[in-house]
Amino acid sequence: MLIPLFITYFFKKLLHKICILKIDHKCLNFQILMIKYLPIFMGFAHKNLWFIEEKN
């Protein structure tokens, strides 16, 4: 549970740095979308990692 939270935090920090470099509304909307869809992405990535481990 702690790892996804750390990754979410990292993504927020990374997006914040990108937003400082180019300040616009599109970037802000992208940041909101990323925060909304990150849990879904994390779940997908977790399933894929499990699948790769199963194959090996």
Reported as a single tens digit per residue, the pLDDT across 7-53 is: 777 777 776 666 555 656 666 677 677 777 777 777 776 666 655 55
Number of domains in the chain: 1
Residue 17 to residue 42: CA distance in whole angstroms: 21
Nearest to 47 by CA among 32, 55, 6: 55
What is the domain range of residue 10?
2-55
pTM: 0.30
Q: What residue has token string 């549970």?
A: 1
Res 37: pLDDT: 77
Using alpha carbons, list the distances in angstroms from residue 15 to 19, 24, 31, 54, 55.
6, 12, 6, 33, 34
